[in-house]
Amino acid sequence: MPKFCPNCGEEISDKVKFCPKCGADIDSFSVKKDEKSTIEETKKAIKIEDTKIEGKKSESTESDILTHKPNKLFYLGICIFLIVILFIVAPTKTITNDIEVVYTDNQTYYEKEPYEIQEAYQEQIPYQTTETYTDSVPVPVSVPYQTYETSYQNYDAGTGKYYLTIPSGCTCSSNRFMSDQNGIYGSLCVQLSCLISTPVTKYRIEYSQQSVQKERPVTKYQTTTKYRNVTQYRDVLKTREVMKTRIDQKQLEENWLLGFKTPYKLHLPIISGA
């Protein structure tokens, strides 16, 4: 079952003797409660006595009122009340206790807070295109050249004539029987067949390497700037409430006869002599 301070109403533990908030002596309030009940009983007795007196006043005459003797219970209550005050308030002394006080304080601290920014970056984007290049290819070319063609041609010695000798490259292609210049009759060469060479121009096909412009598809890359969201962190100054404790000196009134303590606000310097 929770326990509360009888002075300020703060919830406290069953084991503490002083309130951590106001510093009140918890044990003294139990004694004070007994004293309070005694005072309440005294007040009730006085009230009853007053009621009886008022009733008697209404029934008695003025002379009876002047000669009325107070009830003994009334005087008894007054004596008890004075004795209680004497024992509670008078025999006290002021003492100082160190009390641990819990309080709230504002504390600043830094906290990492995320935020987003746009960051630029480079990316290679492929694209298709054509490029022109030079290639060497063989091309047929007609090339002229000089040569000789050989053929046989006949040469006749003429009527009544003959060839005494046969030139190189010739052969006798026809003979005839007739007398020579010496009158000797025999077979003489009257026709020669000679091999002759005639220069002619001819053409042959040759291949030469020539440079030719060609096109081919190629993949190229271009640099493009793009943007992306990037999360970064920054230090943000914040404030929070924290519970702290400190040691305060609290003045109390201690009854040196009964040993209980009361708050210093009940201090009576005239009676206690402080």
Per-residue pLDDT of the chain (274 residues; tens, 9 = 90+): 566 777 777 777 777 777 777 777 777 665 455 455 555 665 665 566 656 555 555 554 444 444 444 567 888 888 888 777 666 555 566 777 788 888 899 999 999 999 999 999 999 999 999 999 998 889 898 889 888 888 888 888 888 788 888 888 888 888 888 887 787 788 888 888 998 888 889 898 988 888 889 899 999 999 999 999 999 999 999 999 999 898 888 777 776 666 666 665 555 554 444 4
Q: Which residues contact 175 (CB under 8 A, 6 or more apart)?
A: 187, 188, 189, 190
Output the CA–CA distances (angstroms, integers) from residue 131 to 211, 215, 217, 218, in the order listed.
16, 5, 7, 7
Distances 207 to 73, 146, 147, 187 between C-alpha atoms, Å: 155, 19, 21, 58
Length of the chain: 274
